[in-house]
A and B are shown apart, each in its own frame.
Chain A
Amino acid sequence: SAVISQKPSRDICQRGTSLTIQCQVDSQVTMMFWYRQQPGQSLTLIATANQGSEATYESGFVIDKFPISRPNLTFSTLTVSNLSPEDSSIYLCSVMTGSEQYFGPGTRLTVT
């Protein structure tokens, strides 16, 4: 398993600003993922973040809106840019260890 922490746990941001979310893992992992969970919904994969290469984005998600950094094997950041109320969601990072994925506690973002 893996222990994952996220910062901040929650934030309220104004329209047009950006929020950067940090994800820290207690062990080195190759694959990290960023998900979005909109209110009352399931999880949607935003992108896969691999160390040493650019993130791979899913359909409907673009780098300009969701830039991701992966400077080492234990850390990643997701920035949600040019915020709008539609970006209000829980953002979760996860890691793959063996064949299983483990999730962080999430960051609850509210855009006003």
Chain B
Amino acid sequence: TQLLEQSPQFLSIQEGENLTVYCNSSSVFSSLQWYRQEPGEGPVLLVTVVTGGEVKKLKRLTFQFGDARKDSSLHITAAQPGDTGLYLCAGEGGSNYKLTFGKGTLLTVNP
């Protein structure tokens, strides 16, 4: 069974601060996806990383896939209240394109 561990589970910061969320596993994934979910909504795909060592940037968000494709990180620069939400990482590595989800990081950015 593939497991993804996310940390921290909860994060409350002030507007303008930087933060990093980690997603770690002992398993190798063919790709890893990051989602953000707001209350009452489904997860919204932010990015997919596929290549070991890959770095993708989405405005103030920087995503990195580990060289061994077992871990990933999400770094947010100058966080804003609109960044508040549940951040989920999900790895694809099994059959039928099934995703294994981490438990999520609940981020609160206070104005």
B68–chain A nearest beta-carbon distance, Å: 20
In the complex, chain A residues 66-112 whose Cβ is within 8 Å of any chain B Cβ: 92, 94, 96, 99-106, 108
A42-B102 CB under 8 A given contacts A92-B42, A99-B92: yes
Are B96 and A48 in contact, CB atoms less than 8 angstroms apart?
yes
How many A residues are at the interface, by size bracket?
20 to 34
Question: Would you call B98 an interface residue if the criterion is a C-beta within 8 Å of the partner chain's C-beta atoms?
Answer: yes
B97 and A96 contact, CB distance less than 8 A: yes
| B64 CB–A CB distance under 8 Å | no
What is the CB-to-nearest-CB distance from A88 to chain B, in angstroms, rounded to a whole number? Answer: 15
The size of the chain B interface, using a CB distance under 8 A, is 22
Alpha-carbon distance A12/B90, docked complex (angstroms): 30
> How far is the CB of A51 from the nearest CB of chain B, in Å?
14
Q: Is the CB of A99 within 8 A of B31?
A: yes
Residues of A34-61 whose CB lies within 8 A of B: 41-45, 48, 56
B21 at the interface (CB under 8 A from A): no
- Please state if B41 and A100 are interface contacts (CB–CB under 8 Å): no
Select one of A56, A96, A99, A103 contacting B42, CB under 8 A: A103
Q: How far is it, in angstroms, between the C-alpha of A108 and the C-alpha of B88 when the chains are bound? A: 19
Name A residues whose Cβ lies closer than 8 Å to a Cβ of B.
1, 4, 31, 33, 41-45, 48, 56, 92, 94, 96, 99-106, 108
